[in-house]
Structure 1
């Protein structure tokens, strides 16, 4: 933390306590946890869609998200320069949830996309050279008594590839293949988490030059909340306060859920653990897991060893990523085909009729009111098994033509465990111990 912020810290803390009672934010939490409401990005989009259209929209988001994750792997394969290019832009199609964050004193509320694959926290800043539209006020550092630029000699500027020092100013410049770009100044300010309003000084990107982003006039998103393993992510910056843990319990990809930072109570839960896989290359901060095999019902697929292993991390080939930003699970094409063939062999025994749907899923069948014997699916990780009941293996269309589809998508490079398969599971990212923990629960939306 820079010296200017040390001088503000004590005074700001007591000022905040006095002012919180006059604001719409609640006071500090009693259990030592920080909780944020995960708001579906789809809530910002047209709501007059039928079930099939909603499924199709989530499928398309999942495909774009997969491209985004692969682009990050490709980007991390070389030393960055200010003009490095990412093959896909940041927009509401590249993540599933957003959160509301307060920045500065006085507080400016900023909605940020939640991204477990992004390293940096950044938001649009006044005065704008170029800013995309947003309905919330754009954060203005000139109005914040607690704002400061990150000095070039600060370790966060010197030791992070996202930042560089130009004319004694710590800056960043990220460019995207479609012509979009975001530029700004590495900065520090107080961040407030809703509804829990204990402030934290965080390093973030103050973006005053944003061009080419496809946001319309009703856009509510102002930037990104990075939750990766990177030193600049939120998890790393407040890790000591939250025991380097965050967790979520997803109700449904189209419903609000809760994102929690800190040690949640797991007493009485059948917690399982599996280690994160760290690629043998610098700069990779996605949450890779060691997926070993898959079962359909009682049938174990018996995939050869390393079927889901990272083969070439610099090209984004192979590996299994845990990702709450993807709606549906994508599986690398070869095991995907074998898994679908096993589903087909199972359903053929019951003479179910295959149908084509507008959802984007490949394997769909007409619903038979007399058929209820849907097989489950189990993901076998190193040291842990993740059982998926039928409610989270298939999507069911109940309006008009009734059908169901196996909720899996193919991918040319990666396997990605999406939010649909994470429903009603407490998922704990124990970054300090390099492991993912999980247990089946009944998830509830924010209180």
Structure 2
């Protein structure tokens, strides 16, 4: 039986208004007591049922909106696997390191590292979206993934499958299920494709942590709650699956490559707004063909170039030009935000990695500047991947240096003050919410994106950041 979820947004996000230079805003006040109180409300998780909806066909000009949920919402079906907050953090951090390793293996194929986590007892750091597969639709919760192209889900007959709360997709119940011949151009373009004994396209996707999915590549109808449906979407029907997918039915691929769902519907833009994953009572939103940036409050809107890595076509890169801590513009290598001919450098936008990672040299400079401006705070023991932590048990509020990324001609996107420190327990231990990537790339993590509508203008190659716009 499918899970059904509905949450209302409960936590507003504060963001200082637009600044033309980093010197106009240098410090902010962080409410420690409020943060600890909110953390102590995290568990247990609950959900509510949604109403049934009707469907209509979607076109490339259609504008439609979906709900995104923190993946911990899936734990509601397995109360025996609920975790205390400290254990939840440790699990998240393990998966954060695994996700960084996956990204690194894409950029450096010779790099292999990481442990595989299986079963629903281990959370990932993703968001999920509810989609229907087939006609009539069978509904599933799929991982929302902007770092991969291919959409896939577990299918019957399931020769080897991980645990998922939804029933597994049954192709025999769908009138729109169509096999793809291995002689087609689409099959030949698919990486690691092969041909079955009866001439149909087979796929396999392997990850560096020993996770994988393999099966038949097919065309199917995809539908989205009340938003409509799309025919002949190519996706993987996985009969052999293993890995850290935490009970979701599979992955909904929204990368920039030719097999992405975005290529099938040929939309002009995609945007999302992420809520804090601790608040599983809340839903985030995912939009296609959303309004232009002129529809938002310009005082809280920032634009940067949307860069593309020719070696990693599926990934989205944001064209930041600098970073500031307090009134100080940090000196960092040019490679931090630019992509060289070999595919190294640049900042990847990620929804599955929590903590923002910077190339090691850049991270060290940013961290040292933050530490220099927080000498008044008591330090705590480090917790990997964090190397800078604080004990704030006795504090009600603290003063922190404002942090921001330069987006255009000195204009700064000032990060919400809630995104500077990450709580690692519910007793007042917080860590600097950035880390080294330990590779030739940087990652803009989801924690720094909370409460900001991120819009990819795919036609004009622009990424827009709209703060205080999460409706």
In structure 2, list runs of 5 or more residues that go unmatched: 1-50, 76-80
Q: Could you tell me which residue of structure 2 aligns to residue 436 of structure 1?
A: 463
CA distance in 1 between counterparts of 2:275 and 2:396 reads 28
Q: Does 1:232 align with 2:259?
A: yes
Cα distance, 1:86 vs structure 2 = 9.4
Name the SS of the counterpart of 2:361 in structure 1: helix
280, 296, 317: which one aligns with 1:288:
317
Change (3 A) 1:321 1:268: closer
Partner residue of 2:436 out of 386, 410, 413:
410
Q: Deviations over 1:51-71 (max 9, x none)?
A: x44444433332221112112
Give the C-alpha shift of residue 333 in structure 1: 1.3
Q: Which residue of 2 aligns with 1:72?
A: 106
Deviation at 1:296, TM superposition (A): 0.4
Q: Name 2:357's counterpart in structure 1.
A: 330
1:105 aligns with 2:135: yes
What secondary structure does 2:357 align onto?
Answer: strand
Matched, 1:353 2:387: no
Q: Deviations for 1:16-67, whole angstroms, at most 9, x for unmatched residues?
A: xxxxxxx8234459994322221212233444423x4444443333222111
Q: Deviations over 1:118-177 (max 9, x none)?
A: 110011111223333323221122221111112334432233335344553222123455
Residue of structure 1 equivalent to 2:84: 49
Tell me if 1:25 matches 2:47: no
| Matching of residue 140 in structure 1 with residue 166 in structure 2 | no
Measured at CA, do residues 74 and 312 of structure 1 come closer, stay the same or move farther in structure 2, by a change above 3 Å? Answer: farther
Of the three residues 186, 200, 208, the one matched with 1:169 is 200
TM-score normalised by structure 2 residue count? 0.76
Query: 1:81 — aligned with what?
Result: none
Q: Is the 8 A contact 2:451 2:470 kept in 1?
A: yes
TM alignment of 1:48-447, pairs within 5 A: 48-50=83-85, 52-75=86-109, 95-167=125-197, 168-176=199-207, 180-210=211-241, 212-213=242-243, 220-239=247-266, 242-243=267-268, 245-255=269-279, 256-264=283-291, 266=293, 267-270=295-298, 271-281=301-311, 284-311=313-340, 313=342, 317-348=344-375, 351-356=376-381, 361-367=386-392, 369=395, 372-381=398-407, 385-396=412-423, 399-400=426-427, 402-413=428-439, 414-444=441-471
Give unmatched runs, 5+ long, in structure 1: 1-22, 78-84
Q: Residue 101 of structure 1 contacts residue 111 of structure 1 at CA under 8 Å; is this kept in 2?
A: yes
Q: Distance in 1 between matches of 2:386 and 2:113?
A: 28
Once residues 388 and 352 of structure 2 are traced to their aligned partners in structure 1, the CA distance between those partners, rounded to angstroms, is: 23
Match of 2:36 in 1: none
- Cα distance change on mapping 1:90 and 1:292 into 2, 3 Å: farther
* Residues paired across the two proteins, number: 401
Structure 1 residues 213, 394: CA separation in 2 closer, same or farther (over 3 Å shift)?
Answer: closer
Structure 2 CA distance for aligned equivalents of residues 263 and 119 of structure 1: 21
Contact 2:391/2:429 (CA < 8 Å) preserved in 1?
A: yes
Cα 1:310–1:232 change in 2 (3 A) is same
Work out whether residues 88 and 178 of structure 1, in 8 Å CA contact, stay in contact via their aligned partners in 2: yes
Residue 40 of structure 2 corresponds to: none
- Measured in 2, the distance between the counterparts of 1:109 and 1:371 equals 45
Q: Describe the shift of the 1:200–1:269 C-alpha distance in structure 2 as closer, same or farther (beyond 3 A).
A: farther
Deviation at 1:342, TM superposition (A): 0.7
